[in-house]
Structure 1
Amino acid sequence: MPTTPTIARIWRGRTRRDIADAYEPYLRAEGIPPLEKTALGVQLLREDRDAETWFTTISYWADMQAMTAFTKGEPTKVHHLDRDAEFLIELPERIEIHRILVDRRGLR
């Protein structure tokens, strides 16, 4: 199995701006640890706008088989956290899966 990621799995969700500070630690505690245990890497991004905040989670996978094993055979299905309906403006309906074509992290 390669140790270099070839797949990026991207989830996006948005909250009201006034509850984003409460959702972030919940997402860090409940959504990120399972990815840290299985994926080759994970990033959590936050974009604050006037009335809403977008959160983006990107996980990196060796290949489709590794990602499919993590998602129990359904790589594009969204697996919502227990409290997502409480925090998110709407529940995301899809996950993006991208092949990584160029990865030059750490280079000049």
Structure 2
Amino acid sequence: MAEETSTKRPAIARIWRGRTKPELADEYETYNYEAGVKPLMEKALGVQTFREDRDGESEFITISYWESVEAMSVFAGSDPTRIHHLDRDPEFLIELPKEVQIVRLLVSHGNVGTA
């Protein structure tokens, strides 16, 4: 499957944001990766996750990359902005996000995302 996706170019980014209390952030990071990011990695062209710890909250951001809105809809359903909450999200998140942001990827420079 890696060979198949290597020829496809990302044109769409789907951005999800969620916030936890700082004392739950480490546990949520692990849970989110296992229950949310791993399955997403099997469908998207690429996935990046971010965490920002601030006073009183930790914000998580997941960005997935897709060749088209149609390809994203195969994973996300007919409305790709609709949130698919993980089973334990209500336990961890300060509030449940109502939608995701979808943006067109215009250009990418350098070796962004290669670790």
TM-score normalised by L of structure 2: 0.88
Alignment-derived partner of residue 28 in structure 2: 23
Identity in percent: 53
Q: CA deviation at 1:62?
A: 0.6
Q: Which segments of 5 or more consecutive residues in structure 1 lack a partner in the other structure?
A: none
Partner of 2:98, secondary structure, is coil
Query: Which residue does the alignment assign to 1:32?
Result: 37
RMSD of equivalent CA atoms: 1.4
One-letter amino acid of the structure 2 residue matched with residue 90 of structure 1:
E
1:5 matched to 2:10? The reply is yes
User: Are 2:52 and 1:47 aligned?
Assistant: yes
Aligned to 2:69: 64
Query: What is the match of residue 110 of structure 2?
Result: 105
Distance 1:59 1:105 in 2: 18
1:16-47 CA-to-partner distances (Å, cap 9, x unmatched) read 01110111000010000111100000011000
State the aligned residue count.
107
Gaps of at least 5 residues in structure 2 are none
Q: Normalization by structure 1: what TM-score?
A: 0.94
Deviation at 1:88, TM superposition (A): 0.2
The CA deviation at 1:105 is 3.5
- Cα distance between partner residues in 1 of 2:56 and 2:77: 36
Output the CA distance in 2 between the equivalents of 1:33 and 1:73.
Answer: 22
Aligned mate of 2:87, from 57, 61, 82: 82
Structure 2 match to 1:14: 19
- Residue 72 of structure 1: how far off its partner (Å): 2.0
Alpha-carbon distance between aligned partners in 2 of 1:103 and 1:66, rounded to the nearest angstrom: 20
d(CA) in 2 for partners of 1:5 and 1:59?
Answer: 9
